[in-house]
Structure 1
Amino acid sequence: MPAPRTGAPALPALGGLKRSHRERVADALRAALIAGELRPGEVYSAPTLAVRFGVSATPVREAMLDLAKEGLVDTVPNKGFRVTAVSEEQLDEYTHIRSLIEIPTTAALATTADPADLEALRPVAQEIVTSAATGDLIAYVEADLRFHLGLLSLAGNTHLVEVVRDLRRRSRLYGLTALAKAGRLEKSAEEHLELLDALLAEDTETARKVITQHLGHVRGLWATDMAE
């Protein structure tokens, strides 16, 4: 299996969405931060990140300012940006809130969601599996975000979706790199397809079981640095 990507040579594709370069860079930076490729306490300059992502320094600098407004990084005068540290207690709190929201909301979709809308998410679920297989952690995190927010949007509560989006942005999954190298990330990725199958079968209990297990990884295997 290919080794996980340690530097992103280019921005991940975002489908047919018409987004500015700044927004695309910000999305990729958030995903790199969540995946643990940008480490807390480290200072990153816009030119260095620009080389890594294959873009000019201007959109990177603008995107990092957006992340600073979100509290994900701090500006360091004349040097760049420092990734904000998140405590274990904060991560536990974020995950607890997500569980309270996502588990019942997702499970309920087994009897309320339009099958066509659920099936439309299958390509995204497959993209997650493919990203896990190739070790592309930034693409993995981005596809995972689109999948889960897409599911939650089917419940018809836009505020709920935004709350979960914010919580996910603040999460840190430092164990993803080690999992990918060990070939264990694909199994977790396939849970997205299992979840879709359960929802399409209107199997509420199985859907609840899968999403509960899936979220458990956030503070389990995915969250902790693993020995390589």
Structure 2
Amino acid sequence: MSGSQEAPEAAEVIETLGPSVGVADRLAADIQAGRFSAGSWLKQIDLQNRYAANRSEVRKALVSLATKRLIQYEPNRGYYVHHEDDALSDEIRDLRVMLETAAADYIVAKATVADIASLRQLAEQFLKLLPTGTIMDIYEANLAFHTALLVASGNRALVELVRDLRLRTPPAPASQWSTRARIEQSGQEHLEMVDALEARNAEKLKAIISLHIQQ
């Protein structure tokens, strides 16, 4: 997680908080901004007071963020901010590079014109969310793009395997997107992937995918 010097920037550029923003989004933004450090426990009563929310709203937010791996749940103890295992994360990252770059040949060979158009739309939607979208909006848009890219390979087992690997590490909002520049770079890389796919350039697609995952 980024240090306190990056916290104000992350909070300001990733999310514009207003009264309509839900508890899950507010908590996600605070985690991203470093206001809750990795490994810290999230006490429900403290969250109720912090976000002026009731018990039910806070519980739903905690369950939602646990599902998305921003936080973890330990039976009989409660929820805490995801504490990343660096060694395991590195191994899973390397495995994803192996699998997803290998899939590039299949994606290039099997992706239809409609698939490419859909991927470009998803990539553009990701970028459009950056000025005002919440962290969770951006998270969902990122996941939608990467899932659609793998689906284009025609290999459902691969899609499920990569999904399971993702579940073993925290998502980008918790581990990578500490600045607007990094999020924008991810968005540009999405578009570059689509361009390489449209050009049917498997080697370029592999290179971009590898760079993207290893950031």
Q: State the TM-score, normalizing by the size of structure 1.
A: 0.67
Pair 1:57 & 2:36 matched? no
Q: Summarize deviations over 1:97-124 as a string: whole Å, max 9, x none.
A: 1111111213431122112112112221
Q: Secondary structure at the match of 2:14?
A: coil
Q: 1:34 to 1:144 in 2, by over 3 A?
A: farther
Partner in structure 1 of residue 97 of structure 2 = 99
Whichever structure has more helix as a proportion of its residues is: 2
Corresponding residue of 2:4 = none
Question: 1:116 maps to which residue?
Answer: 114
Measure the CA separation in 1 of the matches of 2:82 and 2:140: 20
TM-fit CA distance, 1:94: 1.1
Aligned residue for 1:176, secondary structure, equals: coil
Going from structure 1 to structure 2, the CA distance change for 1:154 and 1:96 (only over 3 Å counts) comes to: same
Deviations 1:68-115 (A, max 9, x none): xx896133747x411342221011011011111111213431122112
Q: How many angstroms apart in 2 are the aligned matches of 1:176 and 1:95?
A: 16
Task: Provide the secondary structure at the position in 2 that maps to 1:190.
Answer: helix
**Residue 152 of structure 1: CA displacement?**
0.6
Aligned to 1:222: none
Conservation of the 8 A alpha-carbon contact between 1:199 and 1:207: yes
Q: Which runs of 5+ in 2 are unaligned?
A: 1-8
- The CA deviation string for residues 162-198 of structure 1, in whole angstroms up to 9 with x for no partner, is 2212322323543412x21xx3531331111111111
Q: Comparing 184-193 with 195-204, which one deviates more in the overlay?
A: 184-193
Partners of 1:64 and 1:184 in 2: how far apart? 22
Q: Name the count of aligned residue pairs.
A: 196
Q: Which moved more, 1:196-205 or 1:2-11?
A: 2-11
Query: CA 1:64/1:114 → structure 2, altered by over 3 Å: closer, same or farther?
Result: closer
Alignment of 1:181-196 (within 5 A): 183-196=181-194
Contact 2:70 2:81 in 1 (8 A): no
Match of 1:204 in 2: 202
Question: Which stretches in structure 1 are left out of the alignment for 5+ residues?
Answer: 12-24, 218-228
Q: Give me the TM-score of the superposition, normalised by structure 2.
A: 0.71
Residue 129, structure 1, aligned to residue 139, structure 2: no
> Corresponding residue for 1:21?
none
